[in-house]
Chains A and B, each alone.
Chain A
């Protein structure tokens, strides 16, 4: 039996992969019959994976985005950037470990990178509050956003949070206030900015890192005004209806690209980013470098004006009452 974590719908794939492992471990594994069998099984697995992963439902993608083995921000930090120097603290109250940021290099380019960190294992996840920042985290982020602006360093933000933390301290220290401040700060920051959503884009807590010149999403990431469970609880008083809610909310990368909310979707390996973090990181790095090249060729004033236009055009409305249009 595999000790790997898998989502229900992945079970057939994982079972077949386990069989393959068993076969390969056999003392007779080098014999022609077994080799043939291994080859056959490998083909079957490829076919099955295509069938299972090519047409994921919205809910299945949400599950993928939360997969415990999914690479976290720190993993990508190692794989994509060089010479990272972490900077701590909000200069007001504390150092929120759900947000990591500092100076780094993307290729030859000095940048500031700030991201939401869910943690790599149980212990780490507890420390990092499962990637749900407190106001300190957002204040630290604002501090680093401004640092990037002051020194004309391009800013790269990484989004991966189920949402800003809901708690007494978080409220008392101004959760709403700091999220609003993140939005306004990013909207006018005088430097190129790129956001990448690597997993969960939960509501305002995610958007706080997302008001950038370009916004990208990994294929299995989601971005939503509310979690599917939250939406289901409100609509049907039943969290079990989260899959229906996920569908209704149009929160998948593909749909958001179509709606013009994000500028690009970064492909993941079949079966999700965790099956090959290196290649996924490679793709993210490539797109960051290319995009940054484009952005750096424009004057900062123009970038800020275009960024404003970008958020300004979001929204769908009519000059007539809907019921008059649709019968």
Chain B
């Protein structure tokens, strides 16, 4: 079965990506990609990007909010949603244990943060998936919060911005996770039919069921540099086909070449770019924000 192989490898790959994201503690750090020793402060001051090789380290939802939204403009929504274990899933370890570990290590109750804020003065709905929480995978809570975000943005006539980093649908909630793909896609479609802009930002890595649902439905899709972006993982495909993969396969640069994203934007330019895009998508003067036009 080719599928089994790719899924297995996808997990390995996402695990590697998770390892790569961590900037080690201490004043001096060694970049996990280029191996250069760097002042940790230099990485932090550089949007968590290695000043030597440009590797974009992973970010939490909070860090994303700080980086993209106007200071103090963000207010989170739906903080009362907690994950459940609907199947009583026990794999190599019980799902409930994975959940509790993730809650403990991240201080978050799920892989998703949603809310409303402003980008360069424009009021927007904002959603982030955090890879540190069970590989940013989408189960019922992630799906529900994304769905509610789009619904609220539709009724308030606001654009939506999402930043995702995810291994895909969350296996431990079985077919319920699969259905989150349908659910999120349906809410994006309503938002779309209301004529409202959706900008989807893909960070390293974005794969599987999250890429194959809401994250691919943006009016504009932006990739961070050198992110892994694909439906199935690279090594799996390599095994399936028994041939070497093209150089740079499934990197942001390659998916841009193949027409899958609009642009690659380095992190330090992301806020500026998104702000300009939202203004540019509005038929009215760019200084106006969409939210205030509707009473």
Residues of A within 8 A of B (CB): 132, 162-164, 166-168, 170-177, 179-181, 183-184, 187-188, 202-204, 207, 210-211, 223-227, 229-237, 239, 245, 248-251, 256, 259, 261, 308, 311-312, 314-323, 326
* Chain A residue nearest to B11 in the complex (CB): A234
Number of interface residues of B (CB under 8 A): 77
In order of increasing CB-CB distance, the 3 nearest A-B pairs are: A230-B7, A166-B232, A315-B140
Question: Within the assembled complex, what's the spacing in Å between the Cα atoms of A166 and B86?
Answer: 29
Q: For residue A310, give the distance in angstroms from its CB to the closest CB of chain B.
A: 9
Q: For residue B106, give the distance in angstroms from its CB to the closest CB of chain A.
A: 13
Q: For residue B7, give the distance in angstroms from its CB to the closest CB of chain A.
A: 3
Question: Within the assembled complex, what's the spacing in Å between the Cα atoms of A202 and B212?
Answer: 14
Q: For residue A312, give the distance in angstroms from its CB to the closest CB of chain B.
A: 6
Residues of B within 8 A of A (CB): 1-8, 11, 80-87, 89-92, 96, 99-100, 103, 109, 140-141, 143-144, 147, 169-171, 173-183, 185-190, 192-193, 208-209, 211-217, 230-232, 236-237, 240-241, 245-246, 249-250, 254, 258-260
A256 and B84: CB pair below 8 A? Answer: no
Query: In the complex, which of the residues A176, A314, A318 contacts B231, with contact meaning CB atoms closer than 8 Å?
Result: A176
Interface centre among A180, A237, A248 (most CB of B within 10 A): A180
Question: Within the assembled complex, what's the spacing in Å between the Cα atoms of A249 and B86?
Answer: 11
B84 and A171: CB pair below 8 A? Answer: no
Question: Within the assembled complex, what's the spacing in Å between the Cα atoms of A173 and B259?
Answer: 8
Query: In the complex, which of the residues A175, A233, A316 contacts B86, with contact meaning CB atoms closer than 8 Å?
Result: A316
Question: Within the assembled complex, what's the spacing in Å between the Cα atoms of A237 and B12?
Answer: 11
A204 and B258: CB pair below 8 A? Answer: no
* Chain A residue nearest to B177 in the complex (CB): A225
What are 20 A-B residue pairs whose CB atoms fall within 8 Å in the complex? A164-B231, A171-B237, A172-B258, A175-B212, A187-B189, A203-B209, A225-B209, A230-B4, A232-B4, A233-B7, A239-B4, A248-B89, A248-B90, A249-B171, A250-B174, A261-B175, A311-B186, A312-B186, A314-B179, A319-B81
